[in-house]
Structure 1
Amino acid sequence: MTFNPQWNTQDHLDAVMQLLDLQESASSEEIRKVLNCPAVAAHGVLEELIAQGFVQTVGKSSAVRYIKRAFDHDMDLVHEEWFPRLSEWFATGRAESHFGVSSQLNLNAREAKATLEEMRRQGMLFGKFVGSMCIYSLRERGITRQASGAQLEALASTPRKKRQDALQEAIQKPTARPTRARGLRN
């Protein structure tokens, strides 16, 4: 049995962000060396950071470099008193742009965007970028399960019904690695 490591973990994302804290920009080769991973894995980490709006590309074709994306919202437009209401609203599973949120909740669009960006900066909301537009949502971090080689072997050698029962029991009592909020400093 072989194991393919997952490269898109919080530690890998944090390593890239730390690199970009130390230097203004980085090439994909520099990022690959920091992560000590294949190019395709580094690309996956970068795609995730770009999708979350923490990193953006500059340059063209072979000279592409990666830089931190700055939060550029006006703090005077942020309404911290909206945080609980917006958190509850997103807790129902919604995913919306700031336009959608402002129209559905009858909020000023500029103030809604600034408030949502501040919530994203503080790690309260997840943002998925589609071009320059951000789709906000709550997102539960993935659960990482660890097992020893003996535990994996036992799982592989047990009958299917027992495996399903064991997996169902594990789902009922997850042991998750604590997540850290990841925000950027301006």
Structure 2
Amino acid sequence: MKPTAEQLAAAQDATIADVIGPDLRVLFCGINPGLWSGATGRHFARPGNRFWPALHRSGFTPRQLRPEEQDELLGLGLGITNVVARTTAKADELTAEEYREGGKALVERVERWRPRVLAVLGIGAYRAAFGRPRATVGPQDLGLGGATGDTLVWLLPNPSGLNAHYTPDGIAAEFRRLRAAVEDEDRAVD
């Protein structure tokens, strides 16, 4: 369903529900929902967003899911949330305070749900939310999840079609690197 111009305008500052539950292997965390997502109620819903193709090409999903199939992720041990909940046309509409508050709320979600990995999709968002200005793509030295810090934080490139720094192949490769680390952890637990 393609939202109308009126539906997109009405989606400004809306929120959409997280795809989250217990026993997640990976909780993917976007920056914030765009207007298309706000209008449809689906994460990474805008055509051209490279999240769903990267998820499949990296081996996290057996086929490429569509945004309206997002709830199928839970059965695969995957979930979706955002640093900032409110929808905007562009992430640059968010304030530094929203990122900091979003980071605090994200820590609370991680402490509640305890995913094995929190994968933040956006270098700038992660840096702003957690005060880590030198963070780069890959595993971070910051563990979340209470005193034990047992949730690994992994930084991935933003899959938005606006992110010209990464090609679709480059994004899929970074997702694959995360999946390999998760599978290594799965084998170590068995």
TM-score (norm 1): 0.23
Structure with the larger helix share: 1
TM-score (norm 2): 0.22
Q: Higher RCO, 1 or 2 (CA under 8 Å, sep at least 6)? A: 2
